[in-house]
Structure 1
Amino acid sequence: MASYTERLIAAVVASALLALIPQRVLSQDTPWEPAIQRLIHLTFNENFVTAHAIADSLLSAHPRRPEPPFYKATVYWRQGMNVRDGDKHDPEILRYLGSSIEKTERWIKLQGESAEMFLWLGNAYGLRTGLRMVRKEVFKGVIDGIEGREYLDETIAIEPDAMDANFGIGLSDYILSHNPSILRAVQRLFNLPSGDREGGLRRLKEAATRGRYNRLDAVSALAYLELYYEMDAVSAEERLRGLLAHYPNSLDYRIRYADTMLRLQMEHGRRLSKAMLDSTASIRSIAFSRKWAL
């Protein structure tokens, strides 16, 4: 039988070898992965009741992991989109994002730094940035945005193939390149970078193609940017049509698609009156069935 010293040496060697394994290998095939992927798809299809149930189950089954509270927050986030009283979910979003950040920091303290944990920190701070900006809390939003960007950059530094980090980085680079008025007041105070439009779009497309958790977020962001910023209604229509084929229950995508139809008719002379009427009718029907005030 091996002595205590021999067993200790073996354990140390095993730990050292484990640390050399790339993070992407460690993060594959986790027991919570199928449930999270299902939750993501349910959320994009706006099946919020089932998505909340899965998130609650994950919170109970994996209380130490940062993913369950993060995705609980994302369900509330998407649930509050496009409705007049969407801000009623803000306290829950902030609470669960705070929990995700706390759990990630605790995990890093116990297990050490990793691309995986930096990604979840970047995701949580990124979503909180989005909420702050929507609510016009610019100062807090910028602070969270800077923090989140640093964690996403660390993710890429550790694991260059971590495509999910490209979603937040790409979106940040693109938005800053447009110098939005909401950020001009704090541009000098925080010495914000000028951004990178082409680089941002490239990163978003990489995340949309090869992302694991943030792929659909990147696809959605590209459709939104193509429609409202790039003024490319043709590309936006194709992308939104694909999203609606997979997520027909999404009121958000139907609203964007109706905007796209209007843009195509105005700018390209397409005869899309019937398509616009059908799209508008479907929006009203879904909103009525949910008793939502848009």
Structure 2
Amino acid sequence: MKIFCRLFAMRYLILLLLPLILLARPGKDPWHPPETEKLLWMLDDIYNLDFDGYKQKQRLYLAAHPDRPEGVFIEAIALWMRILTDIYNPEYDGIFVSALDSLTDKLEEFKEDEHLAEVAEFYINAAVGFKAIMHVTRQQWFSAALEGRRAISGIEKAIDGRWTNADAYFGSGLYLYYADIIPTRYPLLKPLLLIYPDGDKERGLKDLAYTAENGLFARVVAAYMYSLILYTREKRTSDAYKIMSGLSMRYPQNPIFMMWQASMAIKLGNT
């Protein structure tokens, strides 16, 4: 009789808790996209420059999940990777910018869903941020600052910790780092940063490292930018080499990672 009562009580407790269990499932979390592994496969294709393979997977993902913004946003990373393969060639800049603008328009539609509004806002800011990253990579600081104005609300949320997504730390990390060093190295740009949050180089580096370790969409691009900063600005070539060699090993079809790894190896004498 006691065993029967215990079983009955356990079943009753499970029935009471079932709604809470269902609400706690990852699929109910707006920040947790469905079929994350398929998004990771797409990212692997992008970073290995297999854009045909990526496109095939993206079409299937969009068809399966038309109500989610991730399948749309991932195109921003693909566009960025195409530009990065020939970063100093301005021939495709117009296509890159117009494609990102079209992308943000599509992402705006997801803001109509109250459940996804904040997630969509994050991806919109991230897509806009890729324009600024392009200018940062080219050391076009004035253009980077102008583009950064469009993403400033997202940057502030990331800095304040209002976005718990690990990818958000990539944006805050880049901003905090460069907002700290630019006024000193380029005094003429200081007035542009007066209306922005103060920079913090050390926190910026920590935020970049955090996304490089824990991010989803931004993990690889954060590791790449973090490695370049360590190499070209912080003179921490050994640390930069470890990160870049890891990227080269994971994405052997990507000549960009291999080129930087070789440059760092020469600097270290590891030829």
Partner Cα separation in structure 2 for residue 113 and residue 56 of structure 1: 21
Instruction: Note if 1:226 corresponds to 2:230.
Output: yes
1:97 aligns with 2:100: yes
- SS of the aligned residue for 1:26 comes to coil
1:111 paired residue among 111, 114, 127: 114
- Residue 254 of structure 1 deviates from its aligned partner by 0.8
Q: Within 2, Cα distance between the matches of 1:84 and 1:131?
A: 8
Shift of 1:252: 0.7
- Relative to structure 1, is the Cα distance of residues 256 and 41 closer, same or farther in structure 2, using a 3 angstrom cutoff? same
What is the CA distance between 1:69 and its match in structure 2? Answer: 3.8
Mean Cα deviation higher: 39-48 or 59-68: 59-68
Q: Give the C-alpha shift of residue 21 in structure 1.
A: 9.8
Residue 143 of structure 1: aligned partner = 146
Instruction: Report the counterpart of residue 264 of structure 1 in structure 2.
Output: 268
Mean Cα displacement is larger for which, 149-158 or 168-177? 149-158
Answer yes or no: is 1:154 the counterpart of 2:157: yes
Normalised to the residue count of structure 1, the TM-score between the two structures is 0.71
The alignment partner of 1:49 has SS state of: helix
Q: 1:202 aligns with which of 200, 206, 220?
A: 206
**Deviation, structure 1 residue 71:** 2.2
* Alpha carbons of structure 1 residues 21 and 46: separation in structure 2 relative to 1, 3 Å: closer
Q: Assess, with a 3 A threshold, how the Cα gap between structure 1 residues 155 and 85 changes in structure 2: closer, same or farther.
A: closer
Number of positions where the alignment pairs a residue of Structure 1 with one of Structure 2: 250
SS across alignment from 1:163: coil
Who is 1:291 aligned against?
A: none
Measure how far apart 1:188 and its partner are: 0.6
Amino acid at match of 1:262: I
Identity of aligned residues (%): 21
Distance 1:121-1:21 versus aligned 2 partners, 3 A rule: farther
Deviation (angstroms), 1:165: 0.3
Give the 3-state SS of the residue equivalent to 2:84 in structure 1.
Answer: coil
Following superposition, the deviation at residue 86 of structure 1 comes to 4.5
Given that 2:73 and 2:127 are in contact with CA atoms closer than 8 Å, whether structure 1 keeps it comes out as yes
Quote the Cα distance in structure 2 between the aligned partners of 1:202 and 1:106: 33
1:43 aligned to 46, 65, 82, which one?
46
Aligned mates of 1:180, 1:252 — CA distance in 2: 29
Residue matched to 2:5: none
Tell me, which stretches of 5 or more residues in structure 2 are unaligned? Answer: 1-18
Deviations 1:72-116 (A, max 9, x none): 232132123243784343333223322332233222234267442
> TM-score when scaled to structure 2?
0.76
What's 1:242 paired with? 246
Deviation at 1:23, TM superposition (A): 10
Question: For the Cα contact (< 8 Å) 1:48–1:79, is it kept in 2?
Answer: no
- Contact 1:115-1:156 within 8 A present in 2 as well: no
Aligned equivalents of 1:84, 1:125: Cα separation in 2: 17
CA RMSD of aligned residues (A): 3.4
Corresponding residue number in structure 1 for 2:76: 73
Corresponding residue for 2:9? none
Pair 1:152–1:114, CA change in 2 (3 A): farther
Change (3 A) 1:46 1:180: farther
Distance 1:84 1:202 in 2: 26
CA distance in 2, matches of 1:92, 1:54: 23
Report Cα offsets for 1:196-224 as digits up to 9, x if no partner: 11000111121122222211222212211
**Pairing 1:30–2:38 present:** no
* Structure 1 contact 119–151 (Cα < 8 Å) conserved: yes
2:74, 2:217 within 8 Å by CA — same for their partners in 1? no
